[in-house]
Amino acid sequence: MKVAVIGSGGREHAICLSLKKSEKVKKVYCIPGNAGTDSIAENVDIEVSDQNKLKDYILLNRIDLVIIGPEKPLVDGIVDYLQKFNINVFGPNKIASQLEGSKIFTKQLCEKYKIPTANFGIFKSVNDAKKFLKESDYPVVVKADGLAAGKGVYICENIDQSIDAVKEIFDGKFGKTKDVLIEEFLKGEEMSFFIISDGVTFKTFGTAQDHKRVFEGDKGKNTGGMGAYSPSRLENEKLNNKIIEKIIKPTLKGLNKLNTNFVGFLYAGLMIVNEEPFLIEYNVRMGDPECQTILPKLNTDFYEIINRCINKNLDSMNIEWNKNKSLCVVLCSKGYPEKYTNNLEIKNLNLISLNNNEYIFHAGTKLNKTKIISNGGRVLNFVVVSNEFKKSRNKAIEIIKKVNWTEGFFRKDIGFKVID
């Protein structure tokens, strides 16, 4: 089988590597890919937004299966478009992708189907929001409605911060928006909960704890993710059942009522408050860096799982996992998540020797002839799977220190809730 992975980040590198392990996969393409995927797949220089060119390439090369990595093409309807040409594509359609594409769509679904979530208000202007904020208890959470690469969320401690956040969103910091979402602040612990679905049934697909804030101790601005560990320390059978019954099943039921179903990965970002789950947000794809943290623990053939989803017979499959502890540390460009410099050479990467259960996934990199150069805010992901989180973190940091790149930084405290 020939499989194409759409995307260019660490998530897509991890997906390509998992596909390469399958005896049934003869060739992997990554569109457009990065410097890391180049060594295990054929990188194809096509813009992810160019649906017509993607379709032509897939048909010309008789690619059997297409896996969509990032959220933007999903929200833009790439699945619907490719399916018109009888292309096997794994990912949710445009309607189902609104779970991530519009936070307000998701909130209204929660309200209709009594899915536990933070209390909220939707506002169409700065003045409307101001009236509400003057009477609010603090902190509050202010969110941009559309896609914002994990950065369109503000936790505001007072009215001045919250009004500034609302102004930034309406001024277009995260793209054009008609609405701003303001939520109550839930005090608890975050958890990432994943399922995979064939549109008829679903299976759980791991848990993780992401680290969104840029600085150690969970300080500073939100990012796309500075690191993660899996499994979440909160995971247990009782909580998992609550998440499935109170959040996942009602969500899928709600989509069915809209005459659609969900095929793909669904990532529930949760807040656990007194052992009760509340939905913070949905992502309609594997998280990044959670994907890089979870996939190395998968024992079952990844291609076969996806193929079962395409053929709608996931139900009969048993997905097996390595029980060890996985931890990912993300190496970022200095200045991220604000301004940073691209096109800086990263040295020594190809000289680093890795043992089993040690991985370097490329995220924001590209090749310039034989040189690997930076091409994004989050640049490299260092993942180690071992029998202890502390061992995994120490080893990941040890590997990072072998990289010759003075323009990078990383958090040294990933996993602090399970280690320190």
pLDDT in tens, the chain (420 residues): 999 999 999 999 999 999 999 999 999 999 999 999 999 999 999 999 999 999 999 999 999 999 999 999 999 999 999 999 999 999 999 999 999 998 889 999 999 999 999 988 888 888 888 888 887 889 988 888 767 655 578 888 998 889 988 898 888 777 677 788 899 999 999 999 999 999 999 999 999 999 999 999 999 988 989 999 999 999 999 999 999 999 999 999 999 999 999 999 999 999 999 999 999 999 999 999 999 999 999 999 999 999 999 999 999 999 999 999 999 999 999 999 999 999 999 999 989 999 999 999 999 999 998 999 999 999 999 999 999 999 999 999 999 999 999 999 999 999 999 997
Q: How many CB atoms lie within 10 A of CB 11?
A: 25
pLDDT at site 151? 58
Count Cβ atoms within 10 A of the Cβ of residue 232 and give its class: 0-12 exposed, 13-18 middle, 19 or more buried: buried
Its pTM stands at 0.93
Concatenated DSSP letters of 70-129: SHHHHHTTHHHHHHTTT--EES--TTTTHHHH-HHHHHHHHHHHT--B--EEEESSHHHH
Name all domains of the chain by residue range, CATH numbers in brackets. Answer: 2-93 (3.40.50.20), 119-184 (3.30.1490.20), 189-316 (3.30.470.20), 325-419 (3.90.600.10)
Q: How many CB atoms lie within 10 A of CB 315?
A: 11
pLDDT at site 69? 97
Q: Which amino acid is at 261?
A: N
Q: Is the dihedral of CA 86, 92, 96, 101 positive or negative?
A: negative
Q: Is the dihedral of CA 107, 111, 117, 118 positive or negative?
A: positive
Q: Is the dihedral of CA 94, 97, 103, 107 positive or negative?
A: positive
